[in-house]
Structure 1
Amino acid sequence: MNVAVDHIATDQPPDDSKARDLDYGWQSGNQVQLLENGEAYFPAVFEALRGAEREILLETFILFEDKVGVELHSILIEAAKRGVKVVVSLDGFGCGELSPGFLRELAEAGVMVQMFDPAPKTLGIRTNWFRRLHRKIVVVDARVAFIGGINFSADHLADFGPEAKQDYSVQVIGPAVADLHHFALAQSGRQVRSRRGWRRRQQRPSPWTNEPGDGLVRLIYRDNIQHRDDIEDAYIHALSQARQRVVIANAYFFPGYRLLREIRNAARRGVHVQLIMQGQPDVLLAKLAARMLYDYLLKDGVVIHEYCQRPLHGKVALVDDEWSTVGSSNLDPLSLALNLEANVLIRDQAFNQQLYERLEALAHNHCQTMPEKRKPRLWLWRLTVGFLVFHVMRHFPVLASWLPAHKPRLKPFEATPHDV
C-alpha cells in the first residue's frame, strides 16, 4: 500500500486569500513561562501533547529519529489514533534524513505530515540550503502554545555530551495563543476563520506599544512577501528605546548595518549593552563571521561575551526591565533575509527579570569576555576585512537562492512498502 504524505513548498501562505498578510497585535493577560534547554522544553511539550483533545499543530526545522524524535513520534501517533487532528510541518533540509518508514507510520495513523521544499541529494549532498522553514511552533487545542529555538532532537539535552546545545523557548497560555493558533493553522494550509471575524476578535493597540503592563505578547514573523523585515525592525525599535540595559544572546550573529548601528548607538548613549555569542560553535564560520564585527562594537562600549561551555543555539534578547523576545530567528543573513521565522515579543517584568538572571549567570559563569583591540593598525585591518566579509555574506544567500536548486517547490512524497 502506498501512503501519500502531503507537501507544502512555497514561501507564501496557502493560496487562500484569508491567510495572506497576517498582522498580529499585542495581546494582554498572558502567562509566559521561560523553558531553558530540552530538560524544561520536552517534558512541557510532551505533557501538553499527551493531553490534547482536539488538535495539534506542530512546525519544526529539525526532527531526528533519536530518543526525542521517537518519543514525539509515539505521542503524535497515539493522539491521532484517539481522534485528535494532528498536523506536522517539517523542513525538507532540516528533516531530510527522516526515513520513509518513520513518516509512513505517522501518515498511516492519521497524522497530516507536510514537508517544506523537499529535495533529493545531488551527488550525495543536499542542495536546498536556503529559504528554510526555520520556525519552531507547537499549538495544542488552541489553548497552549510553545515557540522558540528548540528543535526535536536529543542534542538539546545535556546528556548528549559536549555538543549539547544551550537554547530557549517559551510556553504561552492566554489570548496570544489564538494568534499563534491562527498563524500556524494558516501556514499549514488548513481552513482558517474569515479575516474580518478574526480581526474583530483581536486586541490591537499600536504595534510598537510602549504601554506598561505584564503579560503582553505579540507574535511577529518573517516571510519572503510582505513581512520581510518585521523581526529586524522589532529589534531596531526596541534598541532605539533602550535606556538602561540590553542583553542579546544569539547563536548566529551577523546582522545588517541598521541593527549594528542601533546596538552601537545604544552603547554610546550610556546603555549597558551585552552580547552573548558562540565561543564553542557548532558551525565555525558563525564564530569567525561574528568576530569580524567585534571591533566595530567594542570601541563604543558594547560588552561581548563568548559562551564556551557548549554550542549556543539561543535566539533571545531583552531591553531594560520589561521588553523581551524569544523565537527562531538568528541575527544573520539566512534568518533576516531568507528563512521563514517566528518570534514572540513579550512585555512582562517578571519574565524579563527571569531571562536577565539566566543570561547573567551564563555570561559570568560560562563565558569569556572579549577585550577591546587598541592597536590602530590592527583595528583598521580587521575593520577592512570585516567590511568585505560583511557585504559578501550579506548578499551571497540572496544571490544563491535565485538558483533553481534552491527555489522552494512542490514535490510529492510516497512511502512504498520496500521503503519501510
Structure 2
Amino acid sequence: MPQRSSRWVPGNHFELLENGEEFFPRVFDAIASARHEVMLETFILWEDKIGQALHTAMLTAAQRGVQVHALVDGFGSAGLSRQFVGSLVEAGVQLRIFDPGRSILGQRTNLLRRMHRKIVVVDNEVGFIGGINYSADHVADFGPEAKQDYAVQVRGPIVAQLRNYTREAVLGRAPRWRPWPARASADTAGHVAPGAAQGWATAQPAHRGEADAIFVTRDNHHHTNDIERHYRVALRAARHRVVIANAYFFPGYRFIRDMRRAARRGVDVRLILQGQPDMAIVRTAASMLYDHLLQAGVRIYEYCDRPLHGKVALVDDEWATVGSSNLDPLSLSLNLEANVVIRDRAFNTHLMSRLSHLMEHSCKQVDVPAPSRWDGLRLLRSYAMFHLMRWFPTWAGWLPRHEPVIQLARPGDGDETGSTGGGPQGGDGKRNPDTGAMA
C-alpha cells in the first residue's frame, strides 16, 4: 500500500462550523447543490429530525441523477427502519453499513474498532470534516444534553484527498493514499462513474485560500498512530500556547509527558474537558489525570453548560486540528478516525476566540487541590494511572480483531419495526442507553 504523504497542501480555505446550527444547513445545502457526486461517512445516523433531513437531502439528490454514496457505522447507526433504508436504496443511494453486528441476548457485540469518521465531500469541490454526527442532540433545542461540537467546511486542493480517501472507503475498499484523484475511478460493479468522463472527478480543485493542510487518518493497519503523532509533534514544537478541547480525554503516557514538558518550559497549556459528561465514566477517567497535569502547570477547564463533544486543538498562532478523533484509547488505538491539520493564522485566531469564549463564560477552572491528609492516596492513584497508560496500545492489540465487513444495503434491510423517532432515539428525543457510545 502506498505510504501516506504528510506534506502540507497549500491553497485551502477553512471555515469553522460550531454545533449543528451552523453545520447541518451547510451540509444539506451542499448536497442540494450537488451535480455529480456526494460521498458521506458518519458514525451515527439516527432517524430523528436531523436524520430525516439528511435522508431527504440524499434521496432528492439521487432522484435527480447525482451519485450518492453513504457509509454508516453498524454500531453507531443501529436501528434504522426498513422504510428509512428502503426508500434510500430504491432512489439509487448506495448505502453501506460498516461492520453490522447482531444482538446476542439483547447485547450488541460489535463494540470495538468502529468506523468513527465524519466526512462529506460534494463534487470534489467542497468538503466537511469534524466531530458532528447526524442526530438531533447536536442542536440546542434538544435540551440540556445537546452537545457542544465543531466541524469545518473546506474548499481547495485538500478536498481532493478527502474525496479520494472517502470514495475508497464508502465503496468498501481499503482506502489507499493518493495525493490527487485517480483517473476515471470505477464503481463496485466495474462501471466508470457517471461524470468521470467529463473530467470533473479528475480535476484538481483550484486554490481557494491561504491555508496549508494535511489530511490525517487512523486505521488498524498502516496508520495506527498518525493523528496522535501530529498532536505530539505540535506539542513538542509549542512556544507560547496550547489549547486542547476534547470530549473523551485519556491519552497515552507519551502524550501526557509531552503536555507536561510543554507546560514546564513555560508554554500556556490549557485543556478543556467535560464538566457535564454524557457518560459518568468520562469525567472519572479524566479526573484521574488531573493531579499529574496540574502539578506540571497545565490549566484544566471543565465545560459545564452541556456535554462537550468537540475534538479540536490549536498550538501557537498558526497550527490547529479539527476532526473525529478523541484523545482516548478507543480513538487512538482502535477506531477508524479522520482529522485535518490546518496551518493558517486566521483560522487559528478564530478558533482561539471561540475557545476563549467557552473558557470565560461556560467553564470552571480546576484548582490545584489544597493539601490534605488524602494527598498521598490521591497522588498514588494519579501516579498509577499515569504509568498504566503507557501500556494501553499494547492491550489494544490483544483485543478482538477481525477484518470488518462493509455491507451494501438492499430493499428490506433495516429494523423490521423501526421506531417512532428512529435508531438509537425514540420519538420522545431521549437516548436509549443500550446504544450509548463515545461518539
Q: State TM-score, norm by structure 1.
A: 0.87
Greater mean alpha carbon deviation, residues 39-48 or residues 118-127: 118-127
The answer as to 2:123 corresponding to 1:141 is yes
For the aligned residue pairs, the C-alpha RMSD in angstroms reads 2.8
**Structure 1 position 185, deviation (Å):** 1.1
The residue identity in structure 2 corresponding to 1:277 is L
- Structure 1 partner of 2:63: 81
Moved more, 318-327 or 117-126: 117-126
> Is the Cα contact below 8 Å between 2:40 and 2:119 reproduced in 1?
yes
Identity of aligned residues (%): 54
* Structure-2 residue corresponding to 1:289: 285
**How much does 1:56 deviate?**
0.3
Q: Check if 1:228 corresponds to 2:224.
A: yes
Deviations 1:146-183 (A, max 9, x none): 00000011100000000000000000001111111111
Matched, 1:365 2:361: yes
Q: Does 1:128 align with 2:110?
A: yes
Greater mean alpha carbon deviation, residues 146-155 or residues 182-191: 182-191
Q: Deviations over 1:11-57 (max 9, x none)?
A: xxxxxx6xx64435311111100000000000111110100000000
**SS of aligned partner of 1:30:** strand
Cα 1:216/1:194, change in 2 over 3 Å: closer
Moved more, 123-132 or 22-31: 22-31
How far apart are residue 406 of structure 1 and its match?
Answer: 7.4
Tell me the distance in 2 between the aligned counterparts of 1:291 and 1:123.
34
Q: Corresponding residue for 1:242?
A: 238
Does the CA-based 8 Å contact 1:130-1:397 persist in structure 2?
no
Unaligned runs of 5+ in 2: 184-201, 418-439
- The Cα offsets for residues 101-132 of structure 1, whole Å up to 9 and x where unpaired, read as 21111111100111111011111121211101
Q: CA 1:163–1:397 in structure 2 vs 1: closer, same or farther (change >3 Å)?
A: farther
From 320, 338, 343, the counterpart of 1:324: 320
Q: How far does residue 386 in structure 1 lie from its aligned partner after superposition? A: 3.4
User: Please, which moves more after superposition, 160-169 or 24-33?
Assistant: 24-33
Contact 1:333/1:393 (CA < 8 Å) preserved in 2?
no
**What's the offset of the Cα at 1:397?**
8.8
Question: 2:85 is matched with which residue?
Answer: 103
Structure 2 CA distance for aligned equivalents of residues 400 and 123 of structure 1: 26
Q: CA deviation at 1:226?
A: 1.3
Change (3 A) 1:409 1:403: farther
Alignment deviations for residues 341-365 of structure 1 (CA, whole Å, 9 cap, x no partner): 0000001111101000000010010
State the number of aligned residues: 393
**Please, which moves more after superposition, 181-190 or 289-298?**
181-190
Distance in 2 (alpha carbons) for counterparts of 1:161 and 1:255: 30
User: Residue by residue, what CA displacement relative to the aligned partner does 1:234-259 show, whole Å, maximum 9, x if unpaired?
Assistant: 00000111111110000000000111
Q: Which residue of 2 aligns with 1:68?
A: 50
User: So what's the TM-score if we normalise by structure 2?
Assistant: 0.83
Report if the CA contact (8 A) 2:301-2:364 is conserved. yes
- Please tell me whether residue 168 in structure 1 is matched to residue 150 in structure 2: yes
